[in-house]
Amino acid sequence: MCGPPKQRDQHCAERDLICRPNLPLGSSVLSPGSVFKAPVGWSLGLPGYSQALLEIGTIIRSLGCCPSEGELHDLIAEVEEEEPTGYIRFEKFLPVMTEVLLERRYRPIPEDTLLRAFEVLDPSKRGFLTKEELIKYMTEEGEPFSQEEMEEMLSAAIDPESNSIHYKDYIAMMVVDDS
Amino acid sequence: MGCGTSCSTKDRKSEKVFISHGSAALKAALIIQNWYRGYSARLKARQRYALTIFQSIEYADEQGQLQLSKFFSFMLENYTHIHEKDPELVARLFGSTLQDCKDRQEYVSCIDVPDSYNGPRLQFPLTFTDIDILLEAFKQQQILHAHYVLEVLFETKKVLKQMPNFTHVKTSPSKEITICGDLHGKLDDLFLIFYKNGLPSGSNSYIFNGDFVDRGKHSMEILMILFVSFLVYPNDLHLNRGNHEDFMMNLRYGFTKEILHKYKMHGKKILQILEDVYTWLPIGTIIDNEILIIHGGISESTDLNLLHRIERNKMKSVLMPPIPLDEDHDTDLKTKVGATIIPREVKTNGSLSEQLTKHEWEQVINILWSDPRGKRGCYPNKSRGGGCYFGPDITSKVLNKYQLKMLIRSHECKPEGYEICHGGKVVTVFSASNYYEEGSNRGAYIKLCCDMTPRFFQYQVTRTTCSRPLYQRVNAIESSAIRILKERMISRKTALIRAFQLQDHSKSGKLSMAQWAFSMENILGLDLPWRSLSSHLVTTDKNGNINYMSSFQDIHIQKPVKEAQSTLIETLYRYRSDLQIIFNVIDTDHSGLISMEEFRAMWKLFSSHYSIPIDDFQVDELAERMDLNKDGSIDFNEFLKAFYVVHKLDKLSKSDSNLP
């Protein structure tokens, strides 16, 4: 199988990340030799060039990993400069991220786990959560949502007539869109 | 994680019971939050991919525009025999259109405003009342009469002529200044800015940093509001020239069309005056001798002193670079095309003093077209085809050279409406929200005052009062971007297939992801994340290999005439923007018709310059068929419209955007 010339391979390797963004959750092996195009945010990547147009958290998550906020902070601490500049250098990020992906760390939540989580918050098994309940849990428990995140989630999740979230339907809808 | 206690509280209002099970509820919340953040991030990434597609294609088009300028130069050298038959054509292409420019009085006074006109009426000298009148009228979709348009243009030119190339402005603690970026004919954004930030006035200064026109549908309205405001407050409303304040760019990007559509009788006059007004727009603004405001950017050779001195009105268009000045060439031109040949702005006695020097011209191009990048150094701007990419070291060097602290520029669409780079020394501000597509980006403006840090204000125009959820907006942008990407693919279908087949030794119809991505990038010349986009463009088999022909199955170019060959169709489709410009230029009376001969002559030159391997007779045949009433002329708008792309899954994809 002929591939691109060697020079380009090198250029690719510097610029690209190892990822398989379109693999279904929980599927097959990543081979270390494979090289894929990086998500947007790394333009004209050459070593020594640092850029983080998309936030690191967004990039990591868009690669199919699901770290918690706490885990994300730890990860960022690993790749940050000694004196944090607010920017991450690509050549520092690449090996760390590669390992994360090869180890299959921070695997995403399976659909049924997600459903059970909602059911825990709905002990009387009504099949829905009210808007107030969801807001309370999301903004007061766990790793709380910011106001923007809360509004964003509500805009898609809420059924305007009943002002409630029918979580089974919501999950089904989101999973389709995400795949 | 959680504490082991559990408690319950009763909420009297709703009589629901919030049960906190301690660690169970905590865990559940964590799971949901974790999942949601992952989902939301993937949505944002998809949005970014879509924007990158839009942007890459936009810049590739600009590159096409500059290629066109080379074509015009090429035509100048090879145009003898056509000129003999049609001197007016040459004059139109290359000559000064102001040679027969009448006196302003003649222009304006011979256009009456009828009593039946119920649009806005302006009173000269203009006052702030006229600004209000215009704003109100435009909100109600009224059109300003050509008489007033021309008066405003003449007055604006008169005042601009007295201004230096760079406007120097001072702020004071009580006087902030607001800086806006590209508006591109988006009137709603201008309304929103005025609503949030107040109208321009003696105590509310504004700088508009170029690209007021093209693309949006209300370029004329924006221009009129800005010019009228400028005439009322010439010391408080500052205008910088952008790369779209250029009559050649307007031909391709929509403003010319808008004018000819809104002003069927007087459009041509308006276009002529406008060409001239553009050239008198200042190149930039300097605030407190510290902050430089220009539309595009800089290069390592940017010489502000030179730029202060040049005669900026000689910069007609980015597509009309100065002709080389050596005498031999001069004589050659004369003998080839007769005494009346006029490379842009040359007087009939043959003097070429009406041009900028090549060096000066390049200086201005860099100011209007360059983009900042993270990479150090200064490189030609490959995606746009004009200006350069400049790195943080260039910024430092140039700013230090002139004791400046910051560069504020526009020219690039940013998702948040603004972006800071080069360690805070370069700020991009872009004021046209939803530039590519509804929901694609925010707009922003900057407020500056004395030594205080700049403040950024963002906004986004929405058509509906309640915005759609994020996933719907992202779906809409994404499908729109994929659509235009597919159209790009179809316009280079033959070359793509050839490249794929070259790598497919076993003729299996399949390629590896790497091979496919390589060909796509090579042939289309677009720097995009192909692997991530592949799922939208092709099908893959269970081994992860690409079925490369699958892209072309649900999309094709509708043939205007059955017999026409597909390569011809593809080529005409691909170059239709360029052809449209050329036709518009040839069509001196703006009738929409050109003669068969003109068409043939143009095509011959075009195809030889662009090295298009298509038999001339095929094009002839096609043109003949397009001449429906056999009167020897072609309605070229009809001709070009005929090449439209059919998306077979159109009905499906339209309703898709509402699916989650």
Query: Which residues are CB-neighbours of A145 under 8 A, at least 6 positions away?
Result: A138, A139, A153, B33, B36
Any CB–CB contact under 8 A between A4 and chain B?
yes
Residue B369 DSSP SS3: helix
Quote the pLDDT of residue B70: 67
Domain of A149: which CATH number? 1.10.238.10
Please tell me whether residues B508 and B638 are part of one structural domain.
no
Please tell me whether residues A136 and A90 are part of one structural domain.
no
Quote the pLDDT of residue B635: 74
Residue A70 within a domain: yes
Give me B573's structure tokens: 């489709």
Q: Which of A37-41, B78-82, B269-273, B315-319 has the highest mean pLDDT?
A: B269-273
Residue A121 within a domain: yes
Kindly report, residue by residue over B394-416, the tens digit of the pLDDT. Answer: 999 999 999 999 999 999 999 88
**Structural domains in chain B (count):** 3
Any CB–CB contact under 8 A between A132 and chain B?
yes
Region of residue B54 (phi > 0: left; psi between -120 and 50: alpha; otherwise: beta)? alpha
**Does the pLDDT of residue B301 top 60, yes or no?**
yes
**Distance between CA atoms of residues A110 and B34, nearest Å:** 12
Note whether B29 contacts A141, CB cutoff 8 Å: yes
Q: What backbone torsions phi and psi does residue B175 show, to the nearest 5 degrees?
A: -130, 100
Residue B507: domain span: 469-555+648-658
Residue B335 within a domain: no
Quote the pLDDT of residue A54: 56
Average pLDDT over residues B542-565: 77
What is the total residue count of chain B?
660
Please tell me whether residues A124 and A79 are part of one structural domain.
no
Any CB–CB contact under 8 A between B308 and chain A?
no
Question: What confidence tier does B16 reach under pLDDT thresholds 50, 70, 90?
Answer: very low
**Distance between CA atoms of residues B200 and B517, nearest Å:** 50
Quote the pLDDT of residue B227: 97
Kindly report, residue by residue over B468-519, the tens digit of the pLDDT. Answer: 777 888 888 888 888 888 888 888 888 899 999 999 999 999 999 999 999 9
Please tell me whether residues A97 and A120 are part of one structural domain.
no
Quote the pLDDT of residue B472: 83
Note whether A149 contacts B40, CB cutoff 8 Å: yes
Quote the pLDDT of residue B329: 41
Residue B474 within a domain: yes
Residue A9 within a domain: no
Question: What confidence tier does B437 reach under pLDDT thresholds 50, 70, 90?
Answer: confident
Please tell me whether residues B614 and B538 are part of one structural domain.
no
| Catalytically active residues of B, by annotation | 244
**Does the pLDDT of residue A157 top 50, yes or no?**
yes
Percent of chain B with pLDDT over 70: 76
CA-wise closest residue to A133 among A148, A120, A146: A120
Contacts of B381 in chain A (CB under 8 A): none
Q: What is the ipTM of this complex?
A: 0.73
Please tell me whether residues B440 and B384 are part of one structural domain.
yes
Average pLDDT over residues B142-150: 93
Note whether A137 contacts B32, CB cutoff 8 Å: yes
Of A112-126, A136-150, B353-367, the poorest mean pLDDT is in B353-367
Contacts of A41 in chain B (CB under 8 A): 48
Residue among A8, A36, A58 minimizing CB distance to B44: A58
Give me A17's structure tokens: 């990340």
What residue type is assigned to position B404 of the chain? L
Quote the pLDDT of residue A1: 31
Please tell me whether residues B635 and B653 are part of one structural domain.
no
Please tell me whether residues A68 and A116 are part of one structural domain.
no
Beta-bridge partner residues of B207:
B179, B238
pTM (two decimals): 0.74
CA-wise closest residue to A62 among A79, A40, A36, A33: A40
Quote the pLDDT of residue B562: 57
Quote the pLDDT of residue B381: 85
Quote the pLDDT of residue B15: 35
Please tell me whether residues B432 and B486 are part of one structural domain.
no
Mean pLDDT, chain A, as a whole number? 69
The DSSP output letter for B176 is -
**Distance between CA atoms of residues B96 and B87, nearest Å:** 13
Please tell me whether residues A98 and A147 are part of one structural domain.
no
Note whether A143 contacts B36, CB cutoff 8 Å: no
Residue A23 within a domain: no
Residue A35 within a domain: no
Question: What confidence tier does B646 reach under pLDDT thresholds 50, 70, 90?
Answer: low
**Distance between CA atoms of residues B413 and B410, nearest Å:** 8
Please tell me whether residues B585 and B533 are part of one structural domain.
no
Among A57, A76, A103, identify where a domain stops: A103
The DSSP output letter for A130 is E
**Does the pLDDT of residue B84 top 70, yes or no?**
no
Give me B569's structure tokens: 């169709």
The DSSP output letter for B202 is T
Quote the pLDDT of residue B511: 92
Of the two residues B129 and B350, the one the predictor is more confident about is: B129
Kindly report, residue by residue over B179-237, the tens digit of the pLDDT. Answer: 999 999 999 999 999 999 999 999 999 999 999 999 999 999 999 999 999 999 999 99
Residue A29 within a domain: no
Mean pLDDT, chain B, as a whole number? 80
Kindly report, residue by residue over A29-81, the tens digit of the pLDDT. Answer: 232 222 223 333 333 222 222 233 457 888 888 888 888 888 888 888 888 77
Q: Where are the alpha helices (DSSP H) in B110-254?
A: 128-139, 146-161, 187-197, 219-232, 247-253
Question: What confidence tier does B254 reach under pLDDT thresholds 50, 70, 90?
Answer: confident
Please tell me whether residues A114 and A162 are part of one structural domain.
yes
Kindly report, residue by residue over B366-380, the tens digit of the pLDDT. Answer: 999 999 998 899 999
Please tell me whether residues A118 and A86 are part of one structural domain.
no
Question: What confidence tier does B425 reach under pLDDT thresholds 50, 70, 90?
Answer: very high
Question: What confidence tier does B109 reach under pLDDT thresholds 50, 70, 90?
Answer: low
What residue type is assigned to position B595 of the chain? S
Kindly report, residue by residue over B324-376, the tens digit of the pLDDT. Answer: 544 334 444 433 333 333 333 333 333 345 677 888 988 999 999 999 998 89
* A vs B: CB pairs below 8 A: 166
Taking the CA of residue A128 and the nearest CA in chain B, the distance in Å comes to 13
Report the largest interatomic distance among the alpha carbons of chain B, rounded to a whole angstrom: 99
Note whether A43 contacts B27, CB cutoff 8 Å: no
CA-wise closest residue to B243 among B380, B379, B345, B385: B385
Residue A86: domain span: 48-103
Among B8, B30, B32, B419, the residue to mutate for chain A (most A Cβ within 10 A): B32
Quote the pLDDT of residue B588: 63
Please tell me whether residues A113 and A159 are part of one structural domain.
yes
Q: Which of A148-157, B84-93, B346-355 has the highest mean pLDDT?
A: A148-157
Any CB–CB contact under 8 A between B30 and chain A?
yes
Any CB–CB contact under 8 A between B39 and chain A?
yes
Please tell me whether residues B438 and B481 are part of one structural domain.
no
**Structural domains in chain A (count):** 2
Percent of chain A with pLDDT over 90: 11
Residue A13 within a domain: no
